Amino acid sequence: MSEDKHNLFGGTPYQPQGEIYFNDGREIELLDFMYAHPHLKDMRGNPQKVLDAIDEYGKTRKYLMNIGEYKSKTIVDLIKEEKPHTIVELGGYVGYSAIAFGAALRNIGGKHYYSLEMNPEFAAVISMLVDLAGLSDVVKVEVGPSSDSLKRLHEEGTLNHIDLLFLDHYKPAYTPDLKICEELGLVSEGSIYAADNVIKPGNPLYLQYVRSTVQEKKKSFGQIDSTAPRGNPNLIYDSQLIEGWEPSGVPDAIEITRCIGIQA
Ligand SMILES: C[S@@+](CC[C@H](N)C(=O)[O-])C[C@H]1O[C@@H](n2cnc3c(N)ncnc32)[C@H](O)[C@@H]1O
């Protein structure tokens, strides 16, 4: 690690220690840490102070699989530039990204941030920390597998368009979940997708899909197993890799994909 990067990450061992690095009680321990924090009073209604305290836990206690300070800046900048109205995140964990991006969304006048989280305990932690940050009016936590939540929100009429889709859950689910959004018409020209961890641990199938032309997608469309989501091959994508670092300092990247049209 270069000296600069060492300083950037505070020179602390903010990385997984051993094989078990989540769902071992640390997420509830984080809540205890937050609510016993000497600066709890300052955190109320202050998203940045809540993020700082989550980072402090990750740096000084146990690793947390959050997007972290560095890569979250890329997405906050994207929100400032693109001014989405509705953001959907797949994979919320303890709410770091929901708080960072929910605050950025509210600052530009956006309205809805849906955080889709499968694990009910993690979802409860997200809700509590979002509430602490004063973002409950913008961020809504939906518990369950993302594919079910996407379909349910669409069926209920709660969600009919996604301006920014943040994919940060189970890596093999990125492509099928994007295809569900395509099939339901939740994404269209102007929608943007930000997919985390496309280098570490990597997601070649997703990258291949969003970098394919309409012709290439149409070719493989007929070969898709009938039970899997088929997507909409007519959406035209422009996709680019933005390099960054994991909270541990390990290089990673976010793939930013823009839907730039629909082939008739
Ligand atoms: C890397 S963490 C998300 C980190 C979070 N976006 C952040 O940066 O603060 C991945 C999360 O996805 C959740 N997850 C995995 N598969 C999922 C699925 N199919 N649907 C919803 N959530 C899922 C896991 O429970 C975990 O909390």
Per-residue confidence in pLDDT tens, the chain, 264 aa: 333 333 344 444 466 767 788 999 999 999 999 999 999 999 999 999 999 999 999 999 999 999 988 899 999 999 999 999 999 999 999 999 999 999 999 999 999 999 999 999 999 999 999 999 999 999 999 999 999 999 999 999 999 999 999 999 999 999 999 999 999 999 999 999 999 999 989 999 999 999 999 999 999 887 767 789 999 999 999 999 999 888 888 888 999 999 999 998
What does residue 68 show for φ and ψ, rounded to 5 degrees?
85, 170
108 located within any domain: yes
Beta pairing partners, 124: none
Instruction: Give the model's pLDDT for residue 248.
Output: 80
Q: Let me know: does 74 contact 188? Beta carbons within 8 Å.
A: no
Q: Residues near ligand 1 with C-beta < 6 Å?
A: 65-67, 89-93, 96-97, 116-119, 122, 145-146, 168-170, 173
Asked if the structure places residue 2 within a domain, the reply is: no
CATH number at residue 234: 3.40.50.150
The letter for the amino acid at 152 is R
pLDDT of 14? 60
The answer to whether residue 37 is domain-embedded is no
List the one residue out of 230, 241, 238, 233 whose CA is nearest residue 214.
Answer: 233
Kindly state whether residue 133 falls inside one of the protein's structural domains: yes
Q: How many angstroms separate the Cα of 240 from the Cα of each of 54, 115, 179?
A: 30, 24, 19
Identity of the residue numbered 191: S
**pLDDT computed for residue 1 by the predictor:** 34
State which residues form the domain around 180.
Answer: 67-262
d(CA 250, CA 260): 32
DSSP state of 201: I
Q: Which residue's CA is the closest to the ligand 1 atom numbered 27? A: 93
DSSP one-letter code for 202: I
90 CA to middle of ligand 1, Å? 6
CA distance linking residue 43 with residue 53, whole number of Å = 8
Site to substitute for ligand 1 among 22, 88, 169, most atoms within 8 A of C-beta: 169
pLDDT at residue number 19: 78
Q: Which residue has the tokens 């102070």?
A: 49
Q: What are phi and psi of 125, to 5 degrees?
A: -65, -45
Please choose, from the candidates 232, 188, 184, the residue with its C-alpha nearest in 3D space to the C-alpha of residue 212: 232
Question: How far does residue 87's CA lie from ligand 1's centre (Å)?
Answer: 15
Has residue 53 been placed in a domain? no
Task: Identify the pLDDT of residue 249.
Answer: 82
Structure confidence at residue 225 (pLDDT) = 73
- Measure 264 CA to ligand 1 centroid, in angstroms: 35
Distance separating alpha carbons of residues 174 and 177, to the nearest angstrom: 5
Question: 97 and 76 in contact (C-beta within 8 Å)?
Answer: no
Contact of 194 with 164, CB cutoff 8 Å? yes
Show the CA angle centred on residue 79, arms to residues 137 and 106, nearest 5°: 20
**Would you say residue 7 lies in a domain?**
no
Q: How far is the C-alpha of 240 from the C-alpha of 194, rounded, in Å?
A: 10
- Domain membership of residue 73 (yes or no) is yes
Number of domains in the chain: 1
Look at residue 133 in the predicted model and tell me its pLDDT. Answer: 98
pLDDT at 73: 95
Pair of tokens at residue 218: 């149409």
- 103: in domain: yes
